[in-house]
A = this chain, B = another copy of it.
Amino acid sequence: MSLNKVQLIGNVGKDPDVRYLDNGVAVAAFPLATTERGYTLANGTQVPERTEWHNIVLWRGLAETAEKYVHKGDKLYIEGKIRSRSYDDQNGIKRYVVEIFGDNMEMLTPRPVAGGQPQQAASQPQPSAPVQPARQADAAEDLPF
């Protein structure tokens, strides 16, 4: 009965910070910037360009993919959900942070072809483990209708 979905296309502000939990689960965090173009109102007021920074958090396979292939400056598509959490900062003050827990990622920065001359339509990394979580085998079946 509920939907909490975020979709971002933006630029990575820093190389991902990737950590491994005791159980071996990878978690990656990095900032992603989305920028709205500035524009001029009917009354002549200039509304300047505005950048929003999003705290991206990825888990497991996506975190490992980010560790290998995502770098500062890259353009990414991230799909996920909004998650708030609080923590006590070093002064013992309760802080709130809003994060985007990503469950789908597409890398939009073309990569140069390894060993070849760079070209416009460069090949992307093809991780052996799929970037996306488990899919349904729907393409493998004929429809019974």
Give me the interface of A with B, judged by CB distance under 8 Å. 1-11, 17, 19, 21, 25, 27, 29, 33-37, 39, 41, 45, 47, 50, 52-54, 57, 59-60, 73, 75, 77, 81-85, 96, 98, 101, 103, 106-110, 120-121, 124, 126, 130-141, 143-145
Contact = CB atoms under 8 A, between A and B. Distances in A.
By Cβ-Cβ distance, the 6 closest A-B pairs, closest first, are A3-B9, A4-B34, A98-B98, A19-B144, A2-B34, A5-B7
A79 to B, nearest CB: 8
A35 B79 CA distance: 17
Given A9-B77, A27-B145, A41-B137, 7 more contacts: A4-B36, A21-B144, A27-B141, A36-B139, A52-B83, A53-B84, A98-B98
Nearest to A98: B98
Majority-rule SS of A interface residues: strand
Nearest to A133: B134
A45 B106 contact: no
Contacts of A45: 137, 140
